Amino acid sequence: TMGNWLVNHWFSAAVLAAWLGINIFLFTYYFLFFDRDERYFYTRAILGSALAWARASAKCLNFNSMLILLPVCRNLLSFLRGTCSCCRRTLRKQLDHNLAFHKLVAYALALLTAVHTIAHLFNLERYNQSQQATDGSLPAVLSKMHLQGSNEWLNPIHSNQTTVEYVAFTTIPGLTGVIITLALILMVTSSTEFIRRNYFELFWYTHHLFLVYFAGLVIHGIAGLVRGQTEQSMAEVPPHHCAEYLTRRGQNCTHDCCKDPEFGSIPAESWKWVLAPIILYVFERILRVWRAQQKVVVTKVVMHPARVLELQMLKKGFCMEVGQYIFVNCPAISPLEWHPFTLTSAPEEDFFSIHIRAAGDWTERLIDTFQLEIPRIEVDGPFGTASEDVFQYEVAMLVGAGIGVTPFASILKSIWYKFQQADQTLKTKKIYFYWLCRDTGAFAWFNDLLASLEQKMAESGKADFLTYRLFLTGWDTSIANNVALHFDTATDTVTGLRHKTIFGRPMWNMEFAAVAAAHPRSVVGVFLCGPEALAKSLQKSCHQHSSLDPRKVKFYFNKENF
């Protein structure tokens, strides 16, 4: 429900409201300022309201450019997470929404760039028309003022042959504007889910156009093509009083408004907005380089079926929690590329591990390299908030969809270690684990883990601690025939585990009803790492199957953000 969402995400909601509020305030304030201020009386005579649209969107562009780098300063976020470790965990968890905020700001930049560009296209057209006009109107008279003296021009176009294309590619604002816009278009289009998943390198390298974007942004306003009347000139020839005389002035003019108005440029100010974030980001990159230099020892390499590579590693001072992730670089393949991987080891183990699935050029090359030799590996992290909420529930329902199963490797192992060591912080008495997967190949490495857990639990007489159900959502007739042939075997034909694989999708109402019947007085934590559509149906089931009676079963939904 909306109420629950606000309780869990009040910090995100507050940040969102503040961000939206500041954008609306900046846009409205500067729109009204440039639309009404006396200094821009003559500028508006040529440009009309397009001036206000261009300047207001420019202010918001500066504000959002200031914010865009902050969510990707991952070491800064880790520092904040550490300093607010005494805060409520929900607050720390909100810091994991950093990429969602980064995307939101990026979309705002794209929208504001469109507004700013369109407004300036109107401005150019009006500057051009005023320069070519010979009707003696105020815009025409103002556009000829460059003939009077060096400081008196208001219209930057001084020739009748000028085109929009000429201005776009020969002036500093025009050229930097085109470059910034192209860089932004490339960054936004190459960061779609499809490209990030399938062509990560394209996304990674294109995103480094942010250097071009910020360089262009800082230079963009230097030429000061948009001008306003100077303070001194306004005192001598106030525009609202003197404007009418500009169009009908004789040779022997003697009154107060005879003097020509003088104009000055709006100073460039983008650099003031982005200087601090750029400095922070430079420190962030230096820190990443320093951390990457610390030696990583690969202690074990396991090649699982379906081209999944498991790396077990050691690094001095490395300290992890369940559900965290690291960034990995292999200089032999690419000195610049860093890829995120969820940790699959438990904090109780004396190593940390990741499982790498062949899913793109970089991972393919890494797997090939490890089959020949052990190259040097650099590791940055761990990052992310620990998923310790799992340990706070008597009964936990864990749902992993596809590759979303990775964090649960760490969680299941950690729960087992805590259970064995009779850890007092562990309240969990029963785990239900659901894995939804499209193809059998991806089951292999996780199967091994489940099989070893199954064996350990059976040996210690705790076989009923973990109940798991594997759902194969994509399957063909050969699998179906094989299953029909071996239906009465003790272990599953697909996975070789005691629990049978179920074909098709789970009937969540039945699953929740069964858990509610087995634990009529428990508080059940439901954890998902998977797609949004699944989150909605699980949230609905949690709501439907929770009893209104406080003494009876309650389901609490938690979506993990890996």
Selection from 325, 449, 439 nearest residue 384 by Cα: 325
How far, CA to CA in Å, does 58 sit from each of 26, 71, 175, 400? 10, 22, 16, 44
How far apart CA 408 and CA 306 sit, in angstroms, is 20
pLDDT at 479: 47
CATH number for the domain harbouring residue 406: 3.40.50.80
How far apart CA 193 and CA 231 sit, in angstroms, is 52
Selection from 316, 322, 314, 380 nearest residue 346 by Cα: 322
Query: Is there a domain that residue 190 lies in?
Result: no
Does 392 lie in the same domain as 464? yes
Beta-strand ranges (E) seen in 114-262 are 227-229
Within a 13 Å sphere around the CA of 290, how many CA atoms are in the beta-carbon half? 7
Dihedral sign for Cα atoms in the order 79, 80, 81, 82: positive
Does 265 lie in the same domain as 127? yes
Q: Which tokens in the block code for residue 346?
A: 């438990």
How far apart CA 416 and CA 465 sit, in angstroms, is 9
Query: Is there a domain that residue 28 lies in?
Result: yes
At which of 384, 405, 429 does a domain end? 384
User: For 161, which DSSP code?
Assistant: T
Q: Using an 8 Å Cβ cutoff, are 366 and 309 in contact?
A: yes
Order across the sheet with 325-329: list the strands: 339-342, 325-329, 378-383
Selection from 454, 465, 435 nearest residue 529 by Cα: 435
With H, G, I as helix, E, B as strand and everything else as coil, classify residue 478: helix
Does 460 lie in the same domain as 435? yes
Around Cβ 127, how many Cβ atoms within 10 Å? 24
Tally the domains of the chain: 3
Q: Using an 8 Å Cβ cutoff, are 505 and 436 in contact?
A: yes
- The C-alpha angle with vertex 525 and arms to 524 and 528, in degrees rounded to 5, equals 140
pLDDT at 6: 57
Selection from 475, 466, 481, 534 nearest residue 502 by Cα: 475
Does 408 lie in the same domain as 309? no
Does 512 lie in the same domain as 368? no
Selection from 557, 533, 535 nearest residue 545 by Cα: 557
Q: Using an 8 Å Cβ cutoff, are 81 and 385 in contact?
A: yes
Query: Is there a domain that residue 207 lies in?
Result: no
Selection from 156, 21, 511, 183 nearest residue 164 by Cα: 156
Does 398 lie in the same domain as 369? no
Query: Is there a domain that residue 30 lies in?
Result: yes
How far, CA to CA in Å, does 220 sit from each of 119, 175, 217, 276, 475? 16, 8, 5, 18, 56
Q: Which tokens in the block code for residue 398?
A: 């864990």
- Distance of alpha carbon 240 from the chain centroid: 49
Does 425 lie in the same domain as 357? no
How far apart CA 155 and CA 129 sit, in angstroms, is 11
Does 127 lie in the same domain as 51? yes
pLDDT at 494: 45
CATH number for the domain harbouring residue 359: 2.40.30.10
pLDDT at 486: 42
Tokens 């320093």 belong to 290
Does 306 lie in the same domain as 265? no
Does 413 lie in the same domain as 371? no
Query: Is there a domain that residue 208 lies in?
Result: no
Q: Say what the pTM is.
A: 0.81
Query: Is there a domain that residue 92 lies in?
Result: yes
Does 237 lie in the same domain as 355? no
With H, G, I as helix, E, B as strand and everything else as coil, classify residue 475: coil
At which of 384, 404, 430 does a domain end? 384
Q: Using an 8 Å Cβ cutoff, are 369 and 333 in contact?
A: yes
With H, G, I as helix, E, B as strand and everything else as coil, classify residue 416: helix
At which of 338, 357, 384 does a domain end? 384
pLDDT, block means (10 residues), the chain with 562 residues: 58 89 98 96 95 97 97 86 63 77 96 97 93 88 78 83 84 94 96 86 92 96 90 91 80 76 90 96 91 92 88 93 90 90 92 89 93 93 78 88 82 85 80 83 73 82 83 63 44 50 86 92 88 87 86 82 50
Angle, in degrees to the nearest 10, between helices 98-132 and 2-36: 20
Query: Is there a domain that residue 330 lies in?
Result: yes
Compute the CA torsion angle 16, 22, 25, 31 (nearest 10 deg). Answer: -110
- The C-alpha angle with vertex 155 and arms to 149 and 160, in degrees rounded to 5, equals 95
Does 336 lie in the same domain as 325? yes
Strand pairing class (339-342; 296-304): unpaired
Amino acid at residue number 423: D
Range of the domain at 327: 299-384
Query: Is there a domain that residue 374 lies in?
Result: yes
pLDDT at 299: 96
